Amino acid sequence: MSTLVWFRNDLRLEDQPALHAAAAAGQIVALFVLDDEAAGEWAWGGASRWWLHHSLASLDADLRARGGRLVLRRGDARRIVPEVASAAQVDQVHAGRAHEPWLRALDKDVAGQLKSRNVRFHRHVSALLLPPESIKTKAGGDYGVYTPFSRACFDVLTPAPLLPSPTRIEPAADLGSDRLEDWGLLPHRPDWAAGLRASWQPGEAGARQLLARFVDGAIDEYDQRRNLPADRGTSALSPHLHWGEISPRAVWAAAAEKSQMRGVGLQTFLKELLWREFAAYLLWHHPDMAETPMKPAFAAFPWRDSTQDLRAWQRGQTGVPIVDAGMRQLWQTGWMHNRVRMIVASFLVKHLLLPWQLGEKWFWDTLVDADLASNAASWQWVAGCGADAAPYFRIFNPVLQGQKFDPDGAYVRRYVPELSGLSNKFIHAPWLAPKPPAPSVYPSPIIDLDAGRARALDALKTISKSGT
């Protein structure tokens, strides 16, 4: 009897529990369904579609190297998965568990249809370290704050051997497949993707190379280097983790095994992995988190409406160098350093008083690691309306942030080259230079930072008065 493996955000062979379980049963149908409608407004953005194209090509090559192949189908997964299961005469379907609300709803429908056909549907913990519903407070409730959540995770996480990649895959009968090229996932403007191609190697092999480089080097100084955007002090594994090209268990195990320091650097990195878990945990318990503030008082927050300011922010033309550098890095590479993500987000929602959902949507379309849970949780944290958002009136000063974390201006000069001639003293505040850049070279700030801060604090008083 054949077994169907329904790949989603687990595009790998090693430590892939759905594939491992299916391989033990005999012949395998490896299926990926491109369901353009299931996610609604949260359908994949341009950067994600670019990554998905190359990740699927890599997965198919890895399967073929072991005798298998990837079946591609486009359309309603509620219809396609049961149809493929019937055509292949499988008695089991294995898939990774999902925490996105639309995938949870889709899984429920697919499970019902498969059951009516006497096909068992097995879902495995594949994208996370732990099932979200399994972490409870001592009173049996749910966590709303990261620190106690992370402690609870550390208490229950125990090392376990990784599931090996199958050496041989016995394919089922040929069911036919769409051509990946016909899906149109790649951008119509190839020049836009040039920076993505230069920055990333989607697929399991690329993920493993990046992990090896990180644990052999930067992890031991991670606590100091992770905040320096000009440095390669982070793992940059987020897109590989999002697409499941490497499992969080594999990352955790490699970090713990290879780290020489086994102290602050390692612990800080593991806590970052647990922040990813916490974001998924929050989405599991708050499925509307991507649209609705977790703190109800923020539903009436006096946001501004300015298409001009939003566009300047998106294009990296705000006149604030560290903000513009981050937004240009995002556009060019599909990724942004985490410290800078906080800076640009704070600038949008605090200094410009534009709704956090607008920033969240832009990140969703331009990030190669656009993960609904992490994206929403992070934007709500910066806006002050999510978990761990105390003090909610925190406002990053982008000049001070740049001076502290990019002291020699290397990051700004890389992505805002028109400022490369400025001294370190003025690189983060060019308007203070004896000869500021002409507006035709680099724009003046679109907001006076002190005035923007004062305006944000006045707006935030409406939240404090509400008792939140």
List the catalytic residues: 272, 275, 303, 338, 356, 379
- Binning the chain into helix, strand and coil, the percentages to the nearest 5 are 50, 5, 40
Give the whole-angstrom CA distance, residue 213 versus residue 203: 16
Cα 94 versus chain centre, distance: 24
Which residues partner with 92 through β-bridges?
Answer: 3, 120
Written as one letter, the residue type at 58 is S
Give the whole-angstrom CA distance, residue 144 versus residue 149: 8
Q: Is the CB of residue 380 less than 8 Å from the CB of residue 359?
A: no
* SS3 (DSSP) at 8: coil
Give the whole-angstrom CA distance, residue 191 versus residue 169: 38
Written as one letter, the residue type at 392 is Y
Which ranges constitute the DSSP H helices of 243-337?
A: 248-258, 264-285, 307-315, 321-333
Give the whole-angstrom CA distance, residue 419 versus residue 343: 19
Give the whole-angstrom CA distance, residue 310 versus residue 354: 8
Please provide residue 134's backbone torsions phi and psi, each rounded to the nearest 5 degrees. Answer: -85, -15
CA-based R_g, the chain, Å: 23
Q: What is the dihedral of CA 309, 311, 316, 320, to 10 degrees?
A: 0
Give the whole-angstrom CA distance, residue 174 versus residue 353: 55
99: nearest Cα among 283, 289, 242: 283
Give the whole-angstrom CA distance, residue 113 versus residue 82: 7
Please provide residue 440's backbone torsions phi and psi, each rounded to the nearest 5 degrees. Answer: -75, -20
Which residues partner with 71 through β-bridges?
Answer: 31
* Dihedral over Cα of 175, 179, 182, 184: its sign: positive
